[in-house]
């Protein structure tokens, strides 16, 4: 899924928990988009500076940033790595769970079902190379309409509910 949608879905997932604590909600959103930023920022910056468009042939080249994307994706999109990180952070915090970190898991769970044929999500890495290959490609126009339509409906409903609560009769 694209970074904007990941941020919007993560915000939707954490809105109720952190309705008044925007700082933690923003951290959850950051963790919700960070897996793609870590993996794809160097390649994206190169493509923008070089004025080149993405192509599978270019991505198959030996430029380090394309190899970085491929290798780091295994770590940033793994529920196993997420769980290890969560356990370590919880231990460092003396048993207190840092809930905004779950934005990362929201990202992975969405990607498992929305990455078909290209960057299928290695959610069990390094234990297994299994990838769910029966999902839908997030960039399919029909899926994009449904995805952003659902997001628009959620945000519109929140707007109407919040607006209704503010109206005094």
Alpha helices per DSSP H over the chain: 3-14, 22-50, 56-59, 64-76, 79-92, 102-114, 141-166
pLDDT digits (tens, 9 = 90+) for 65-109: 888 998 999 999 999 999 999 999 999 999 999 999 999 999 999
Q: Whole-prediction pTM value?
A: 0.89
With CA atoms as reference, report the closest residue to 102 among 88, 114, 115, 85. 85
What ranges do the domains of the chain cover?
Answer: 3-138
Structure tokens at 90: 């919880």
Measured CA to CA, the distance from residue 113 to residue 104 in angstroms comes to: 15
pLDDT digits (tens, 9 = 90+) for 31-64: 999 999 999 999 999 889 988 887 777 777 778 8
Contact 49, 16 (CB under 8 A): no
Angle, alpha carbons 44-48-52 (nearest 5°) = 100
Peptide bond into 120 cis (omega under 30): no
Measured CA to CA, the distance from residue 77 to residue 10 in angstroms comes to: 15
Above 90 in pLDDT, residue 7? yes
pLDDT digits (tens, 9 = 90+) for 128-163: 999 998 889 998 999 999 999 999 999 999 888 877
CB atoms inside a 10 Å sphere around CB 75: 17
């Amino acid at each position: 899924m694209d970074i904007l949608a990941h941020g919007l879905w993560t915000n939707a997932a954490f809105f109720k928990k952190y309705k008044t604590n925007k700082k933690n909600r923003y951290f959850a959103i950051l963790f919700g988009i960070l897996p793609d930023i870590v993996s794809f920022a160097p390649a994206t910056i190169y493509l923008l500076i070089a004025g080149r468009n993405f192509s599978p042939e270019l991505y198959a080249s030996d430029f380090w940033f394309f190899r970085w994307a491929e290798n780091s994706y295994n770590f940033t999109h793994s529920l196993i790595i997420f769980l290890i990180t969560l356990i370590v952070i919880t231990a460092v915090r003396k048993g207190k769970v840092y809930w905004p970190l779950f934005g990362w898991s929201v990202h992975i769970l969405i990607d498992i079902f929305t990455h078909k044929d290209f960057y299928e999500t290695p959610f069990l890495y390094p234990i297994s190379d299994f990838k769910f290959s029966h999902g839908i490609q997030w960039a399919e126009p029909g899926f994009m309409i449904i995805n952003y339509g659902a997001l628009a409906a959620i945000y519109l409903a929140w707007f109407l509910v919040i607006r209704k609560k503010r109206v005094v009769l």
